Structure 1
Amino acid sequence: MSSFKNLGVQQEFIRGLKELKITTPTAIQEKVIPILLNADTDFIGLDQTGTGKTAGYGIPILQKVKASDTSIQFLVLSPTRELVQQIKKQLFKYSKYSTHKIFIEAVYGGEKIDKQIANLSRVTHIVVATPGRLLDLIERGTIDLQYLQTLILDEADEMLSMGFKEALNRILKYTSGNRKTWLFSATMPEEIRSITKKYMHPNAEQIQIDRNIKVNTNITHRYVTTTDAEKLEVIVRFLERYHNDRGIIFTRTKAGAQKLAGLLKAEGFSVAALEGNMQQREREKVMRAFKKHTIQVLVATDVAARGIDIANVSYIIHHQLPENTTYYTHRSGRTARAGNKGVSLALIAKKDITQMREIEKSLQIQFIKQEY
């Protein structure tokens, strides 16, 4: 069995990882860390969500930071504010026992840009950013990336599916030069292939874990045949069975998320909605409560739930099937993270059977019929 020490990770970072109860490398970490520590190369890493990609690239960049150099050396791009905040927090925790002080800043929309500009005027070695806010800072001339060593695209497929294609292209163009690019993604759609061809070295090292497995194998996929009128009753029975566990219920619309959350509250469940029309402060309050177990159930839209990485989410419920199979992968991937097991339950009307079979075929999974 591999260890972080065998992979070349320095003791100060092993200590930080150990404090987070991360003692054994995941499959992607085992393959990625030695490459990124030792090679000065462009890199593509493909693996499912929830497998530890943040530590996979995070430890190498922390170990490579030259603390005496006050310029921005590493830039991590990620699709959502929540994920950016989380990556910054994880990098900070990994480097807790570092012999040199490593300065990390997060920049994202929904917070005053002036405050972020002021923070960037201090010594900053690593920036974690959402594409939109970073582009704003670049165009204002308030972020200096001329000494950037490596640009990391985290959750690249999610960034593209959220409409950041143009922003990514402009950022890649702006930072082109001697910098390396590390790209991490769960899937490899054509738009990502296009980015790799245009902005990355043709001989970029590539690691793909479980090439034939498109969805985490620790997830059990179940379905219940029901009608729209009976869905609330099915969910109530399911939640009563899983009353000690945390989970996320996905709806297609913002109004649907708020309505379902209200109905479940009336039934006595500890639940809150998470959707795009909510104020950033309110969204952060809900996420804090969910992480602290004050709230047991989130009712969320696809966009609002992107980038949520919370341990011990036991189940996902699809109030309606998502519009495409990629969304099904992202939704179900919120459970069974970091080696845990989880359940993904789809509420299926007769008209949805064909779509369910298409998802099975496309993702090479099997739905098991359940009664609740």
Structure 2
Amino acid sequence: MKSFKELGVGPQFIQALEENNITAPTEIQEKAIPFLMTEERDFIGQAQTGTGKTAAYGLPMLHKINPDVKQIQALVISPTRELTQQINKQLFRFTKYAEKKIFTEAVYGGEKIDVQIARLRRPTHIVVSTPGRLIDLLERNAINLEQVKTVVLDEADEMLSMGFKADVDKILAYTNSKKSRTWLFSATIPNALKEIIDEFMDDDAERLVVSNEKIVAKGIAHQYAVVDINDKFDVAVRFLKAQGDKRGIVFCRTKAGAQALAKQLYSKNIQAEAIHGDLGQRDRDRVMRLFKSKRLQVLVATDISARGIDVDNLAYVLHYQLPDQFEYYTHRSGRTARAGKKGFSLAFVAPSELGKIDELEEGLHISFEKVDLRQ
């Protein structure tokens, strides 16, 4: 395995990486960074969530920024507000020791657009945005992308599954007219994404596929409990109360399910609140402040709403409902055992779902331990 220095990353960025406990490149970083640093072609990187994609594109992108040009030179599009905020924070951390300041700005729905327009009047080199908010800014002529040379689509398949294809088409039609290079990162390449690749990306675009192996954090203990659907809530209450002051995230598949479960848990004196796509930005920020400040014990989340959640010292993840896709399990479980710490990921499964545990073990190269949560 090569070091970040051997990949061509400058010492000012390496110092910031080490400060954030990023010392050895992941597979996608090792393969993508040298290409993105030196080539001026489009790029397609297929890798699951949790493989280090932000650094894989972020470090080359930062190297290409000219701090003396006080205009937007790079654009990152991501599907959710939380992921947009996380990417922005990560890029900010990477630039801590840069010789000249590189300014990034996050824009997303749920915050007053006038506030964001005012921020964009300041010198800005990189903008991280959700698709809908970027379209709003372009239609108001409130953002200048004339000097953008790098466009990153992060979690591209999620953007399409959330209904953003028309917005992505508009954005790429605009940036392609400015001769920008496009870097696309996605866990899967569904047909709708193939259409975007065929229409907006060069035929000679570099393609990289990273295997599913070794993408789940090593510090996670994977467990499952067989629970009948009629007993699931009562078992969850016992389990969560047994955790005491430890904090964790409980995952549901739907917004309605997350909201209902949070209310039910609260009625049992468990400090729980839900975060999902229908929650306004002010309420989302309030819930996350409570959770990060440890005034909230349990966060009940959907897969999409949890994109970008980065909270230290979470003891566990509970899959109240199993996810539909392998990469969702990886993303969910990765909320615990961060920064070298230990944690566990517990899945509730009905007797009819036991085959899914076998599929997860085989597909993600992990082992599950069966636990008994009966009284």
Shift of 1:124: 1.5
Given the superposition, is the C-alpha separation of residues 341 and 181 from structure 1 closer, same or farther in structure 2, using an over 3 Å criterion?
Answer: farther
1: CA distance, partners of 2:368 / 2:5: 41
The amino acid across from 1:46 in the alignment is Q
Structure 1: unaligned runs, 5 residues or longer:
none
- Cα shift readout 1:255-282 (whole Å, capped 9, x = no counterpart): 4323432443454444322123332112
Q: Determine the C-alpha separation between the residues in 2 that align with 1:114 and 1:13.
A: 33
The Cα offsets for residues 193-243 of structure 1, whole Å up to 9 and x where unpaired, read as 32222211222222322x254963745543322233322332234335544
SS at match of 2:176: coil
**Aligned equivalents of 1:28 and 1:149: distance in 2?**
22
239-248 or 65-74, larger mean C-alpha shift: 239-248
Shift of 1:81: 0.9
Unaligned 5+ segments in structure 2 are none
Cα distance in structure 2, aligned partners of 1:354 and 1:74 = 44
Query: How far apart are residue 118 of structure 1 and its match?
Result: 2.1
Letter in 1 for 2:261: L
Report the counterpart of residue 320 of structure 1 in structure 2. 321
**What TM-score, normalized to structure 2?**
0.87
With 319-328 and 22-31 compared, the bigger mean Cα shift is at 319-328
| Letter paired with 2:289 | R
Which residue in the other structure is 1:17 paired with?
17
Supply the distance in 1 between the matched residues of 2:246 and 2:51 (Cα, whole angstroms): 21
SS at match of 1:105: strand
Structure 2 CA distance for aligned equivalents of residues 303 and 11 of structure 1: 35
CA contact (8 A) 2:46 2:186 kept: yes
Aligned match of 2:230: 229
Q: Distance in 1 between matches of 2:168 and 2:335?
A: 25
**Structure 1 residue 160, shift from structure 2 partner:** 1.6
Q: Amino acid of the residue matched to residue 188 of structure 2?
A: T
Q: Does 1:344 align with 2:345?
A: yes
Give the Cα separation in 2 of the matches to 1:156 and 1:5.
29
Distance in 2 separating the partners of 1:348 and 1:61: 42
Choose 227-236 or 105-114, whichever is displaced more.
227-236
CA-to-aligned-CA distance 1:33-83 (integer Å, 9 cap, x gap): 222112212112222212221122112211211112122110000111111
1: CA distance, partners of 2:206 / 2:290? 40
Q: How does 1:1-372 map to 2 (within 5 A)?
A: 1-177=1-177, 178-209=179-210, 211-213=211-213, 216=216, 218=218, 220-240=221-241, 242-243=243-244, 245-323=246-324, 327-335=328-336, 342-353=343-354, 368-372=369-373
Aligned pair in 2 of structure 1 residues 187, 247: CA closer, same or farther (>3 Å)?
farther
For the structure 1 residues 212 and 170, does the alpha-carbon distance in structure 2 shift closer, same or farther, using more than 3 Å as the test?
Answer: same
- Is the CA contact 1:274–1:300 (under 8 Å) kept in the aligned structure 2? yes
How far apart, CA to CA, are the structure 1 residues paired with 2:288 and 2:134? 24
- d(CA) in 2 for partners of 1:114 and 1:306? 25
Q: CA deviation at 1:161?
A: 1.6
CA 1:317–1:31 in structure 2 vs 1: closer, same or farther (change >3 Å)?
A: same
Partner amino acid, structure 1, of 2:250: I
SS of the residue corresponding to residue 344 of structure 1 reads strand
Distance 2:30 2:168 in 1: 28
Identity %: 54
Q: How far off its partner does 1:22 sit?
A: 2.2
**What's the CA shift for 1:172?**
0.7
CA distance in 2 between counterparts of 1:49 and 1:325 reads: 10
Question: Using the alignment, how far apart are the partners of 1:206 and 1:313 within structure 2?
Answer: 35
Using the alignment, how far apart are the partners of 1:225 and 1:164 within structure 2?
A: 37
Question: Which amino acid is 2:225 matched to?
Answer: V
Q: Deviations over 1:9-52 (max 9, x none)?
A: 22222222222232332222222222211221211222221222
Compared CA separation, residues 230 and 159, structure 1 to 2 (3 A): same
- Number of aligned residue pairs: give it: 371
Against the structure 1 CA distance between its residues 339 and 49, is the aligned structure 2 distance closer, same or farther, given a 3 Å change threshold? farther
Contact 1:270/1:296, CA 8 A, preserved across alignment: yes
Q: How many Å separate the matches in 2 of 1:265 and 1:134? A: 37
Other structure's SS at 1:207 match:
strand
Q: CA deviation at 1:296?
A: 3.4
Measure the CA separation in 2 of the matches of 1:126 and 1:93: 14
Which sits farther off after the overlay, 221-230 or 123-132?
A: 221-230
Q: Does structure 2 retain, via aligned residues, the 8 Å contact 1:51–1:338?
A: no
29 and 128 in structure 1: CA distance in 2 versus 1, 3 angstrom threshold? same
